[in-house]
Structure 1
Amino acid sequence: MSPLHLGVSLQQRWPLDDGAAVLRAARHAEDLGFDHVAAGNRLLESGYAVDGHLSDPLVLLSAVAAATTRLRLLTSILVVPYSPAVLLANQAATLDYVSGGRLILGVGTGWKQDDLEAVNVPFGERGARTDDHLAALKALWTQRPTDFDGRFTTLRDAHLGMPPATPGGPPVWVGGHSDTALRRAVRLGDGWYASALDAGELTDKIGRLRKAAADPADADRLTIASVQFLSPPGFPGEVPSERRPLGGAKPTAASVVDDLGRLAEAGLTSCTLWIPSVGGQVEKAMDWIAAEVVPQLG
């Protein structure tokens, strides 16, 4: 069983009069030994209290990169169709460069129709645009000059303005539970990123991931990662009703450790903890995780 790397989502309701609060939380996560911090990608308010403030992930993580030295920086999830492929390739490569190769690009197709329509992307094209853009990103990061022919992106003798620090570009973790998303992860990703699955569901999806590959080895090479909701004792937060929080409705350190252990046995190697509490409580919640949970994980 591989070691389980724990990270923390920064998608919280941070105080609007204190823009440095999120950076202090990221530094605290680094001091406590967490593996990564994550930032999500929505454009318009959704009405869901759990979403917090919807900052741009690449901008926010650029600030976090300057405030930290070791933490990996995960977009969770960056919606690929929001931006043209060349723009996204250059932005991601720039963040990878300034962070010293710490970026992980967690990506998805998007599901909020109003967000997609606001940037003139037809909802029915989001999957095809994601496939096109991810293939173009890989080409731009690995070929110089780049020639590329896609449905939405055409490049001739293109030299990306900023090469990434990571050879071949930052790792791409493809999110989604559908068979289409699993096939996309095998074809275009370096990892698969799940959302709030229990160990049994994760085992089933990994089996489907291997079936989606022409060769099971193509699936076995992927990093298996997941976001999980966690409201530690004393730090209540609103969790979407369809998602089971880590450790159950009334988690204890033992129940959280048990859930994480089962997920690791199922194949999970990286877990992002989304703590849906008010921003000011997140650091204290991280303290609880570091003191009560991490020592029991081995």
Structure 2
Amino acid sequence: MVAGALIQSTVQLGVSLEPPAWSEEDGGRVLETARRAEHLGFDYVLMSSHMLRNRIGSALDPFVMLAAVAGATSRIRLATSVLVVPYYDPVMLANTVASMDVLSGGRFVLAAGTGWNPEEYAAIGVPLSERGARTDENLRILRALWETEPVTYTGRFARLEEAVAGVRPRTPGGPAVWIGGNSEAALRRVVRFGDGWHGRGVDHTTAADVRSRLAALGERTGRDTSALTLTTVGFLTPPGFTPAQPAPGRPLGGTRATLDSVVEDLTRLHTAGVSMCSLWMPLDGPGLADALHWVAEELRPALP
């Protein structure tokens, strides 16, 4: 395991609020779902970032939604899953994330990635071919603005001259940053800029492989990777529930999940070093509310 003393005794559970197709009248239901997740003992509420409707669906703006959730809750942690970093100006992003850290009382985590949707990149006016370079540069600027002042920087896409962040994060050095993606470039990004890795629909074999690859990269670059957090999204249709849409990845617990198969899957992930699994459940709003109770009353007590 990664840094055994740092691994929780059981896997933490989060809930993604992306899958329900929230209507313009569902603002109250979104916040009620988040409050229910907190009351039932979930560890995280997470939200993706989509600018346009796509094959998975659409999403409320993650910063707006998670800021509202922060005001409606007091304990549960909040995370993007994932934020497409190249869509944002780095100075504005540093200010927004620091503001989230302050307003949430230090409960916010930035899970960041490069994205994949060419239509969104075209609509925003950012070349898809620049996504990796822009992600790296933006993360470098975020870290600089959170950790030092003033900041002078000249890069490929941005230039700062004696810049001082308008908002200082509550968390020293800024909130935790989890990097999404399994590619070699993504894992190098974890080692350079991240506090952790955030996967998507992975099994325990892939998670263990990522852990080994991160350790090897750390040895080559001189970074101790033992304290890096490993987290993942798990696509789950609980037994007895009817999905409102297909899951966009490997189903947690198998295509016909049972309580035992989900427990086995989560236990293997945890043994491989995964400390938190965000449950992405392809259900409508009322179905998601019922599924939260299934997780709290059936699944969590069965976990070792």
- What TM-score comes out, normalization by structure 2 length? 0.93
1:264 matched to 2:284: no
* Correspondence for 1:113 among 105, 118, 123: 118
SS in 1 for 2:225: helix
Partner of residue 141, structure 1 = 146
Deviations 1:110-140 (A, max 9, x none): 1001111211110100000000000000000
Between the two proteins, what is the percent identity of the paired residues? 47
Give the alignment of 1:46-125 within 5 angstroms: 46-48=54-56, 51=57, 53-125=58-130
User: Which deviates the most, 179-188 or 213-222?
Assistant: 213-222
Q: For the residues of structure 2 that align with 1:116 and 1:40, how far apart are their CA atoms?
A: 16
Could you tell me which runs of 5 or more consecutive residues in structure 1 were left unpaired when the two chains were aligned. none
Q: For the residues of structure 1 that align with 2:44 and 2:222, how far apart are their CA atoms?
A: 28
Amino acid at match of 1:195: R
1:239 touches 1:245 (CA, 8 Å); kept in 2?
A: no
* Correspondence for 2:52 among 44, 47, 53: 44
Deviations 1:171-209 (A, max 9, x none): 000000101101111111110111111111211222122
1:17 matched to 2:57: no
Could you tell me which runs of 5 or more consecutive residues in structure 2 were left unpaired when the two chains were aligned. none
SS in 2 for 1:269: strand
* Structure 1 residue 215, shift from structure 2 partner: 5.1
- What TM-score comes out, normalization by structure 1 length? 0.95
Q: For the residues of structure 2 that align with 1:201 and 1:176, how far apart are their CA atoms?
A: 12
Deviations 1:82-104 (A, max 9, x none): 01100000011111111111110
How many positions carry a matched residue from both structures? 294
Q: For the residues of structure 2 that align with 1:57 and 1:129, how far apart are their CA atoms?
A: 20
* Structure 1 residue 18, shift from structure 2 partner: 2.5
1:290 matched to 2:290: no
* Structure 1 residue 219, shift from structure 2 partner: 2.3
Give the alignment of 1:163-182 within 5 angstroms: 163-182=168-187
Amino acid at match of 2:46: A
* Correspondence for 1:29 among 22, 28, 37: 37
Q: For the residues of structure 1 that align with 2:292 and 2:262, how far apart are their CA atoms?
A: 13
User: Which deviates the most, 260-269 or 204-213?
Assistant: 204-213
Give the alignment of 1:138-217 within 5 angstroms: 138-213=143-218, 214=220
* Structure 1 residue 217, shift from structure 2 partner: 5.2
1:145 touches 1:157 (CA, 8 Å); kept in 2?
A: yes
Q: For the residues of structure 1 that align with 2:224 and 2:187, how far apart are their CA atoms?
A: 12
RMSD: 1.4
Q: For the residues of structure 2 that align with 1:278 and 1:113, how far apart are their CA atoms?
A: 27
Partner of residue 218, structure 1 = 224
2:191 touches 2:223 (CA, 8 Å); kept in 1?
A: no
* Structure 1 residue 283, shift from structure 2 partner: 1.2
Q: For the residues of structure 1 that align with 2:221 and 2:91, how far apart are their CA atoms?
A: 31
1:15 touches 1:279 (CA, 8 Å); kept in 2?
A: no
